[in-house]
Amino acid sequence: MLHEQLHERRTPEEKAAIRANQSNPMPIVLADLPDEARPFARIVGRWVWVEFTQKPDAEVRECLTDVGFRWNSKRKVWQHSCGSGKSRRSPTDPRFKYGEVPVDEA
């Protein structure tokens, strides 16, 4: 519910900026990644995933949204497609196919 309230409070310009950030390539996504999220961030195929061990503060969640991440409630991770476009939902976890690499080791 809080996410919906934050989303409703955003101006059309802010919403447009978020949509634009969703197409950023991986180098920009990694540069914009909040410091608090970096230890939990992994590269999965052409995407960046952030999987926290517990729910992050609202400020961190809002920052992730601002830089173009989306919450995947099925997998319980924040995901950024890094400009690769939308893909069909995979019935299996993409980490099994692509593996995952911590962003600081990539």
Q: Which of 3-7, 21-25, 71-75 has the lowest mean pLDDT?
A: 3-7
* Burial of residue 82, with CB atoms counted within 10 A of its CB: 0-12 exposed, 13-18 middle, 19 or more buried: buried
- String of DSSP letters for 20-31: HHTT--HHHHHH
Question: pLDDT at position 7, please?
Answer: 54
pLDDT value of residue 8: 66
* Mean pLDDT along residues 81-103: 85
**For range 6-23, the mean pLDDT:** 86
Indicate the domain borders of the chain.
2-105
Instruction: Judge whether residue 23 has pLDDT over 60.
Output: yes
